[in-house]
Amino acid sequence: MKLIECVPNFSEGRDRGVIDAIAAEIRGTPGAVLLDVDPGAATNRTVVTFIGTPDAVEEAAFRAIRKAAQLIDMAGHRGEHPRLGATDVCPFVPVQGATMDDCVEVARRLGRRVGEELGIPVYLYEAAATRPERRSLADIRKGEYEALPMKHQDPAFVPDFGPNTFHASAGATVIGAREFLIAYNVNLNTRDKKLANSIAQEIREAGKTKKAPDGTRQTVPGRFAHCRAVGWYIEEFGRAQVSINLTNYKVTPVHAVFEACREEAERRGLRVTGSELVGLIPREALLAAGDHFLAKQGKTTASPRKSACTPPSFLSACPILPRSMPPRKSSSTGTRARRRGSWPPPSARSQTSCRATLLPPGAAASLHCAARCPPLCRPWWRR
């Protein structure tokens, strides 16, 4: 059986009614399994993860994009994260039995349907891109939603599907096919976004620019390949954050980036106070982090792995999983509250299986589900 993962990002992270309505469209699609819904208030963005057969994920994605276009008005949207439309980006990822070509085919079919039936401009990116300059999501998204009226007048910005006109409420949507991406954020004990961004420039592949002795500007590469990063301030945490996308965790593992952030923070008189994952992460990446920190502590890395989930030794050893949460703003009262307690929470300690086990035997065995295994997929415990 071919299985494909879909990770659409919607430009709504505060209105739970809208988020639930979009998730319901996916949950109600036969053959699609909703794995995770991860909203962010400061970014005003929700990352949804689901999996299924090619036809099922294509249909679920279309229903979700249609619902988002009905409920989200980009004209009034504000948030920390760059975005183009109500459904900002919708990537497909091969998981089991499926190839990248399968994902490209799904992405292009979906793009044509969204453009023709919903009248939303669609741009194809990464492996599904129709031209080299559109492989990068960041390049397509330059100027964000606010620049769309002007960009639609540029012949080079004609969409792959849909009308070449500004859609005031839905904006534009970017659809594509890519390998697994880990969205990972590191918190700092500062409110200064500039300091967070300076750390991001040190670790990201694109690096930074500096003035040469002859007066010209030159690019200094960052520490890690397959790493994109930016610094921003997150109001709900009350601190600055280094927001990171890892596009190849086998080349640039999560724990190496975490350690680098700690080093760069110390050079600036700062401390890393925690980190968080957005969405899901491959099991292999978590186990590699566990092995790394166990080895640093002089402990064995040969813990028995009897279940589909990460062994308890990893949970106690890995500093990527913090022991307490930062203050979070309550949406109902507007006040801040800190939850304390041992890690993982008692309700999660006995968890021995993942949501992925609801799929056919062996399907998505490398994926953990944040809804069923929160301590393994999200360092911050979410209610």
Q: What is the CATH number of domain 182-377?
A: 3.30.70.670
pLDDT band at 320 (very low <50, low <70, confident <90, very high): low
* Residues 86, 83: Cα–Cα separation, whole Å: 8
- Architecture of the domain made up of 3-177: 2-Layer Sandwich (3.30)
Place of tokens 């952030």: 261
Contacts of 103 (CB under 8 A, 6+ apart): 4, 92, 93, 94, 127, 128, 177, 178
Per-residue pLDDT tens over the stretch 205-251: 999 988 888 888 888 999 999 999 999 998 888 899 999 999 889 89
pLDDT (tens digit per residue) in 156-201: 999 999 999 999 999 999 999 998 999 999 999 999 999 999 999 9
Hey, is 38 helix, strand or coil? strand
Among 77, 81, 292, 368, the active-site one is: 81
Alpha-carbon distance 97 to 79, whole Å?
37
Question: Can you tell me which residue has the tokens 């360092």?
Answer: 379
Domain boundaries in the chain?
Answer: 3-177, 182-377
Annotated active-site residue 81? The verdict is yes
Which long-range contacts does 111-117 make (Cβ < 8 Å, 24+ apart)?
A: 111/160, 111/161, 111/175, 112/161, 113/62, 114/62, 114/65, 114/161, 114/162, 114/173, 114/175, 115/159, 115/160, 115/161, 115/162, 115/163, 116/161, 116/162, 117/66
Whole-number Cα distances in Å, 261 to 4, 312, 382: 32, 25, 24
114, 122 Cβ separation under 8 angstroms: yes
The predicted structure's pLDDT at residue 267: 97
Rounded alpha-carbon distances, angstroms, from residue 175 to 108, 137, 250: 8, 9, 24
How many other CB atoms sit within 10 Å of the CB of residue 81?
18
Average pLDDT, the chain: 82
What count of Cα atoms within 13 Å lies in the side-chain half-sphere of residue 229?
38
In the chain, % helix, strand, coil (3-state, to 5) comes to 35, 25, 45
Question: Which residue would you say has higher pLDDT here, 121 or 216?
Answer: 121
